[in-house]
Amino acid sequence: MESEVEGPRIERAIANELADLSDEVADRLESGDSCGAAESAAQLRERLTAAINEGKVPETYLEELSGATNELELGVPTCIDKIPPPAPDTDEDEDDDADKKKGKHKKKHNGENAKTEDRR
């Protein structure tokens, strides 16, 4: 016979959803899918935050659940596919000045300038 738990409760649907998302993170990590695990961890964070904001998580469990979610998120390796490439160098004027000093000249190709020249 199961014992009855005393105190505040989390709705079964919310508790199951959070547990399923947590299991999904673990399953994806186990299979080597760090990108999928990162996505699932983010979904878990979003769902927990929504449940807290909706008043569906008793205050008694806020710190414990938030802490566990933080640890889980931090435990997911960085997803290489999600790291943005380095930003292009936008300091063209400095580059042009440096090239001119070296005797080089960069040719700029700009679609708008080409259109403007065609109209002349």
Q: State yes or no: pLDDT of 30 exceeds 80.
A: yes
Domain count, the chain: 1
In a domain, 2, yes or no: no
Query: pLDDT per residue over 42-90, tens digit each?
Result: 999 999 999 999 999 999 999 999 999 999 999 999 887 655 667 777 6
In a domain, 1, yes or no: no
Residue 59's Cα: distance from chain center in Å? 27
Map residue 116 onto helix, strand or coil: helix
pTM reported for the whole predicted model: 0.61
Per the structure, the complete domain to which residue 25 belongs is given by 12-82
Taking CA atoms, 109 is separated from 15, 95, 106, 115, in Å, by: 57, 15, 10, 11
In a domain, 90, yes or no: no
In a domain, 59, yes or no: yes
Query: pLDDT per residue over 92-116, tens digit each?
Result: 555 555 555 555 544 444 444 444 4
In a domain, 87, yes or no: no
